[in-house]
Structure 1
Amino acid sequence: MSITHPFCEYSPHCSLGNICSVNNAHCEPLFVNSLKAAVLAPKNSCIFEFKQKVTSFSVLRKGLVKLYDENRNIRSVVFPGQLLSGGDYSEGYYSYSGVCATEVEYCQLALGRVYDLSQIIPDFTLQILNVFSRTIASKQHWEECLMLPDAKLRLAAFLTMWWQTCSTLPAGNDYVRLPLSKKELAALLGMSLSTLNRAFQLLSDEQQIDLHKKYIRILPGVH
């Protein structure tokens, strides 16, 4: 699917993808100039910091982003397709810091241009609302996964969501590096490190995963 903005390819995981494809027919210069498409950020780089002013709608296309609170505790993760909000937009600043767990790719739409774009592009406001709706639905699903009483199921839910949106799936029997350390993954899933290791072992015993130190592969048929 072609889009208006140059140097960008449509991604099924990009919430702004529908907006881009719709505006392909309009070729509005204001839209093109308001969008930074397919921005690349390396692993461990910080996309935004706690209390930083929000100036754009940022949507993650590829990779995984960790959200840290002001005390550097991991609070959540952002999967592809979700807004890189890091808190409530209505507050005007980020309530978390966003750090790339992997190499990531994201798009930014200037917040200050949204009203002007809504005046010249049909259904633009509805398109923006759809971006929020998609993010809310995805986060609700993730929160439901975190509520699972069984540690193994919580770990499996995370691995499934991450694997399904992983942009660098290996060929054949290759492994992929886990996007989080075991310590951070345990904190994210609300369990001790020993419980996490037991959950990994159970999934391995059930032949759902093959784990080798920091590298993993999801066995065929599981995902």
Structure 2
Amino acid sequence: MATGDQQDIFARIRGYLPRWFGDAAQSPIINGLLQGLAYSGAYVYTLYAYAKRQTRILSASDGWLDMIAADFFGLSTKRRAGQSDASFRANIVANLFRERGTRNAIIRVLTDLTGRAPTIIEPSRPADCGAYDAPNSGYGMAGAYGQVSLTYQAFVQAYRPLGSGIPNVAGYSIVTTGYSAPSQGEYVDASMSSNTVSDADIYAAIESVRPAASIIWTRISS
């Protein structure tokens, strides 16, 4: 017996009856009536408990999590196809307290989204482009060409996730059939890929954390 279930509510109602109603074991008609009331009460309590959980992010579930995400982030943070409540909740919490407006913010959001850290070059940052007599650069060897006048700008090389392609479909000129190994051959398109992170998602992620009044030149590759 748990708090709020049918037997719990039945016991509570039965406890309020005067003694002259007799012992519970000898009152089948009254018990039947009370069990009916207890069933309705348990249903209402279940709805109450469910509604109470939806008022907090850490306990919300189902479509209520989607409403919470829409309330805080609009269309920028949406549940992926097949994503569980626990995974989506962790994503919401991470975005609520996410670092923003910094170089590290871009690195972290892209790493969280794709599983791969981006390459970032700020033209006016010596650590990225080197300097005369500095050990971190060399013509044709290391570093990038810098430009002091290109302030408040950065070049970001983002990487798509390392997905598993299209399940059960063999690659061009590749035979993957084997004992208990399903495979098929067909013409495919990008919509069939198991990779659920699109290039638009990557651009949106950068836009959500980039510093204001800055330009982020972005290239995406696999």
Give the structure with higher Rg (CA): 2
Query: Normalising by structure 1, what TM-score?
Result: 0.27
Query: Normalising by structure 2, what TM-score?
Result: 0.27
Which of the pair is proportionally richer in helix?
2
